[in-house]
Amino acid sequence: MFLINCPYCGERDQQEFKAGGEAHIERPKQPTELSDDEWAEYLFMRKNIKGVQFERWNHAHGCRKWFNMARDTSNDEIKAIYKMGEKPPTQ
């Protein structure tokens, strides 16, 4: 269990949040032209990184806004929090 610093509400208990999985998976621009392999890649295949990964979170029991997080999945340490549409931190 950890504390999450919501970019809109400040630091809150993790219980208020819902994890939304891997971030920056781009929705296909031309869905009708996608092959089965490309659909599988988009829908199902995940990096599932052990280490720092970028992921989406939702402040479900709070402001209900979505945002991004860089978190080390090996020890649950939060490295950075940034808003939707922003580029992931390089460090």
How many CB atoms are closer than 10 A to CB 10? 10
Cβ 22 to another protein shortest distance, Å: 8
Q: Binding to another protein by residue 46, rule CB under 8 A?
A: yes
Answer positive or negative: Cα dihedral of 29, 35, 36, 40: negative
Cβ 80 to another protein shortest distance, Å: 16
Quote the DSSP letter at residue 51.
S
Interface with another protein (CB under 8 A), residue from 8, 9, 18, 28: 18
Nearer to another protein by C-beta: 49 or 63?
A: 49
The two three-digit tokens of residue 57, written as one number = 């979170």
